[in-house]
Structures are given as C-alpha cells and as structure tokens.
Chains A and B, each alone.
Chain A
C-alpha cells in the first residue's frame, strides 16, 4: 500500500506539567486507507508513548474515540485520514474539560443522563413469567432511531447552547429520555417531564441543529428535542384542561 507522510498536530496537555494545552507535531508515515485513529495509534506505539487518547472497538460503536479533527467533532476510528490535507489537527472534544491530551471529562454527561431516568418505568413491574411484551414493528419504529446513540459526545462538542449554558442537559441525554417516552412499553413520561421541561431542559435548545449535523449514528437528537418540546407543550396543555375540568 502506498505510503506517504502527514503532519499530525496533536493537542497535548498534562496537568502535572503544563499550565495550558499546547500543540505538538508528529510526522507520521500514513497508509491510504487509514482512519485518523490509526495515525494516533502509530504515534502512541512508535513515536511517543506518552500520548493519551481513548479508543477501543475501532468499529464506530463503542463511542470512545470522539475528538475534534481540524476543528470538527469526529469519530476518529471512522474518519478517513484521506479526507484531510498534509497537516491534520487533532484536539480534544470542545465544550468538555480536558483531563489530559485528548481525553475529556464525561462525568457531567453521565450525571445528566442518569437524572433523566433512562429506564422503563411502569406503575406495576412486569414479571418474567408474563413473557415478552408485544410491540408492533410500527411501535418499534416510533423510537428506534433515538435508541442508536453511542454516547460519543460529538453532539455536545458541536452544540452552541452547551457552549454558553453548561447546565443544558444536551442532545444525547435528551434524545435518550425522549426515546423512553416514545417506547410503547414505558409509562414514565410524566416522571421525566419535570426535568425535561425545567431549567436546562428541552426549551433551552434553540434548534441550531448542529448536533444532528455531526452525529455519526444518524440519531438526530435535534429532531428528538423538538418533538419533545411539542409533546411537553401538549401534555402541559392537556393537564391544564384536565385540571380545569376536574375543578368545575
């Protein structure tokens, strides 16, 4: 396979040594069919073992390897190096605190996800003896797209609302909550409503649509959030009418 070299400019940051992130250049002999991740692994194995980055599956499903490549959030194990010129800049995802080099802090996201109760909630739990619930292919299609999120965080790195409002629950977490609300087997929408409508919830979203543009799994979190806005307005209106009726 034809080989040539590219300059990979990597953002480095070791909190024990550096005051602020800096850029370091590596000259990497790359192969034509390489992904960006393969260049980083080459650096780690052959040029500089002190480079830290996360990766595992290298097949675009574990969600570990999101980084900003030439300023755009990308899944590096999926992003062909050949899309770029002779110099490629690799930086940690924007909008996240940086732990070291290309590794970002995800605790905030996990808290947001957990707060949205992403699990099936029922008034009465089903017992295994009852067997599998029926769900038609149409009911499955109601939420399937929003269940495809790999938590790669590219959407958070692209979102201008996240940049300005760190408490915004954000695209992936809200899409996941909406996925459960749409599932015919779930009855928890009312319990998720307060936080979804509240501070940092769906109404913080100004529909920039950037999350949908960068999502590598076609989840379309922007669509999920707008649908959730509509659903929340309708259910709020409905509860208002019901309350008025009950009062009279």
Chain B
C-alpha cells in the first residue's frame, strides 16, 4: 500500500487558503494577548507606566500591527457569520431554526450596530481629547 497523500496543493491551494488564514490568526492573537497583559501591568504600575504604554502605541509598527489585526478580526467575524447558521440545531423545542438569511442578517445587524456605537464613542473620545 502507498501511504496517504495530503490533499492536493495543500496547504497553499485556494481550497485551504481561508482555512489557513483563519488558523494562522492565532499567530496574531499571541502578541495581542501579550500586549493586553502589558497594558494591565502598566495600569497597575501607576500613571507614568500607563502613559509610557500609551505612547508606545503610537509607534507606526504597532499601528500597522493593529490595523492588520483589525482587518483579520473583521474577516474572521464575517466568515463566522457565513458559517454560523448551520451550527445551530434544526429545532429548539417547538421552534424551528430561523432561515439562514435571517440569522446571517441578524449577525450583520448586530455587527453594524456595535461598530457604529464603538465608532461614535471613539469619535467622541478622540474629539474630547482634542
């Protein structure tokens, strides 16, 4: 017998690109998680440390990193929205699962509303700072 062959053009083929992008996201999660820890530590160590941490955030590399993470997270969210409906049981008690478009639409709605709220809040904050 010949040993199993991995799927053709694995892992670079188009079939696996989105799956791998999704998986590789964990590489982004690691530094982000570390950053969060640093932020908490800075907060706990008093005003000076916190300000220093905030200053560090302005570094162009950090901004770029956050932009990439933002794009990636949005993409993960959208992929999840598409795949979400079928993770739900066909029926809960007497209720049938709502149609896919409704579930996906609902998720997009919540996403849009949350983004808007966050955006407004941030705009207010940034405006307030200025």
Residues of A within 8 A of B (CB): 13, 15, 20-21, 68, 71-72, 91-92, 94-99, 105, 138, 141-142, 157-160, 163, 166, 182, 206-210, 212-213, 220, 222-223, 226-227, 229-231
Contact = CB atoms under 8 A, between A and B. Distances in A.
Contacts, number: 91
A99 B13 CA distance: 26
Contact of B9 (A71, A208, A212, A227): A71
Contacts of A157: 7
Contacts of B22: 206, 208
Chain A CB within 10 A, most for which of B2, B10, B19, B88: B2
Nearest to B2: A98
21 contacts: A68-B8, A71-B7, A72-B15, A91-B8, A94-B7, A94-B10, A97-B2, A99-B1, A138-B96, A158-B7, A159-B7, A160-B7, A160-B11, A163-B6, A207-B87, A209-B83, A223-B86, A223-B87, A227-B89, A227-B90, A229-B87
Chain B binding site: helix, strand, loop or mixed by DSSP? loop
Interface in B1-59: 1-11, 13, 15-16, 19, 22-23
B91 interface: yes
Interface residues of B, number: 25
A96 B4 contact: yes
Interface string B81-115: 00100111111000010000000000000000000
Contact of A94 (B1, B5, B88): B5
Contacts of B91: 138, 142
Contacts of B90: 141-142, 182, 227
Contacts of B3: 97-98
